[in-house]
Amino acid sequence: MSAAALDRHRLSVCDILAAIEDGALAPADVVAESRSRITARDAEVGAFVTLADETASAIGGPLSGIPVGIKDIFDTSDMPTEMGSSLYAGHRPRFDATLVSMARTQGAAIVGKTVTTELASLDPAGTNNPAAPGHTPGGSSSGSAAAVAAGFCAAAYGSQTGASVVRPAAFCGIAGFKPSFRLLPTVGMKTFAWSLDTAGLFAASVRDVALFADLLTGRALRVRDELSLAGLTLGFYRTKLDDSIEPAMVDALDRTRRAAEKAGVRIIDLDEPGALEEGRDAHTAIQGYEASRALMHEQRSGGDSLGPKVKAILDDGAGYTPEEYDIARRAARVARKAANGLFESVDAIVAPSAFGPAPKGLSSTGDPTIAKLWTLTGNPVVNVPGLATENGLPLGISIVARFGRDARVLAIAAGLERTFSGV
């Protein structure tokens, strides 16, 4: 049995489920195709660290036939969970993380564990970017984004403490969904900084990630109708970091603006309020303080075996006092309120997902600075794929909505994605 859904370069959640519904495809076909692609091509991508022995999606359920990759910081009872760190070599959790259990309960086929940077931090792990070979796929959810971009699986789990979902999605030219803080349970996911860590999802398109999120959580998140963008107000977000935005991204933002205007959107410019500028600065103290506590034992045990970037974050973080941490937390609270206030005048915010396309080489996962603000504030963000540089490197645009408006951010992002593809 075959179907058009499997002829494509990337696996689409929407297309696969439609083909299964139509009887054109059986769940086992998709899983077999996924395994065969991984076997054939993962040596050049390096997206997976462990493959599941058996991924039969036998129990049925709404996600039956959807091959899923799991970032290797989520506990799995049937595969090692190594956190990208030699400290966790061969580590076998007794039970699945909550999100892993939820995927299995809904019938998804977990095909393997994907490469993460060490302890989900900034030291690159060697995964290549399928959409821009020789360039970083971003991080820390490097393997998950690469696995979806390479067409190895239809969805994948990531996590974001700074910009580790939005950035790899942007660099790999796929959809990334960082939901409102705590929409997706993080139980059984390795902690880096407890007030920032956010589980997120990857899929080929915004519609795909929305349908996957809907079926995974039982929440009404799918893009139900072709939302008309006409009449919406989008705010283009301007910050003091804008001087660092690369020309290709400036151009992508211009194209986004023109496409939105053509679709009947009212555009306004939003200058970053001071409270949000201070919130972005507070991220460093909160992440450092919490990471140095969350990973206190690993830091003591790991010593110089830890990667230099994660080691620096932990060493610096240990220097923050509780008083400095409390000041940063208060700044974060003020920033969250200010973020809410932005949505008095706009339906959603448009911002760059990164300063530019994926940097060349695999020695850095890129800069999270511009996107990490929305992790601190907890607002839902979707990376919209579809734009690229003249040389074909993906450029990602972020749509940000009010806290708790996850269905809305997905719907608006899907509308924008459609204007990019010209459909």
Q: Which residues are catalytic?
A: 71, 140, 164
Annotate 111-170 with DSSP letters as a single string: EEEEP--GGGSSS------TTSTTB---SSSHHHHHHHHTTS-SEEEEEESSSTTHHHHH
Whole-number Å distance between alpha carbons of 333 and 209:
29
Percent of residues in the chain assigned helix, strand, coil, to nearest 5: 40, 15, 40
Sorted by sequence, the CB contacts under 8 Å of residue 399 that are 6+ apart come out as: 348, 349, 350, 381, 382, 384, 409, 412, 413, 416
The phi and psi torsions of 270 (rounded to 5 degrees) equal -120, 120
**Considering only CA atoms, which of 355, 336, 347, 344 is closest in space to residue 413?**
347
Q: Which range touches a copy of itself (CB under 8 A), out of 22-30, 49-57, 97-105, 239-247?
A: 97-105
DSSP tag of 364: -
- The correct pick among 73, 102, 166, 410 for binding a copy of itself (CB under 8 A) is 102
Nearer CB in complex with a copy of itself: 194/308: 194
CB of residue 140 to a copy of itself, shortest distance in Å: 18
Closest CA to 414 of 200, 211, 216: 211
Q: Of the candidates 9, 21, 44, 219, which one interacts with a copy of itself according to CB under 8 A?
A: 219
Among 24, 51, 61, 105, binds a copy of itself (CB under 8 A): 105
Stretch that binds a copy of itself, among 96-104, 263-271, 343-351, 358-366 (CB under 8 A): 96-104
Nearest CB to a copy of itself, comparing residues 102 and 399? 102
Identify whether the C-beta of residue 324 lies closer than 8 Å to the C-beta of residue 287.
no
Contacts with a copy of itself, 166-205, as mask; x by CB under 8 A: ----------------x--xxx---x--xx----------
Smallest separation (angstroms) from a copy of itself to the CB of 44: 32
For residue 398, what are the β-bridge partners? 351, 383
Binding mask 73-92 for a copy of itself (x = CB under 8 A): ----x---------xx--x-
At residue 420's C-alpha, the angle toward residues 212 and 415, to 5°, is: 50
Tokens of 138: 């971003």
Amino acid letter for position 31: V
Query: Least distance to a copy of itself from the beta carbon of 288, Å?
Result: 14
Whole-angstrom distance, CA of residue 97 vs CA of residue 80: 12
Binding mask 247-266 for a copy of itself (x = CB under 8 A): --------------------
CB of 91 to a copy of itself, least distance (A): 6
CB nearer a copy of itself, residue 77 or residue 244: 77
Q: How many residues bind a copy of itself (CB under 8 A)?
A: 32
Least distance to a copy of itself, CB of residue 219, Å: 5
Question: Rule CB under 8 A: is residue 101 a binding residue for a copy of itself?
Answer: yes
Restricted to residues 317-356, the positions that interact with a copy of itself (CB under 8 A) are 321-322
**Mask of contacts with a copy of itself, 278-317, x by CB under 8 A?**
------------x--xx-xxx-xx----------------
Candidates 400, 417, 396; CA nearest to 167 is: 396
121 neighbors 140 (Cβ within 8 angstroms): yes
Candidates 19-27, 101-109, 224-232, 258-266; binding stretch for a copy of itself (CB under 8 A): 101-109
Backbone angles phi, psi at 287, to 5 degrees: -60, -45
Q: Are 178 and 202 in contact (CB under 8 A)?
A: no
Which C-beta is closer to a copy of itself: that of 92 or that of 258?
92
Q: Is the peptide bond before 398 cis (omega within 30 degrees of 0)?
A: no
Binding interface with a copy of itself (CB under 8 A):
77, 87-88, 91, 94-96, 98, 100-102, 105, 182, 185-187, 191, 194-195, 217-219, 290, 293-294, 296-298, 300-301, 321-322
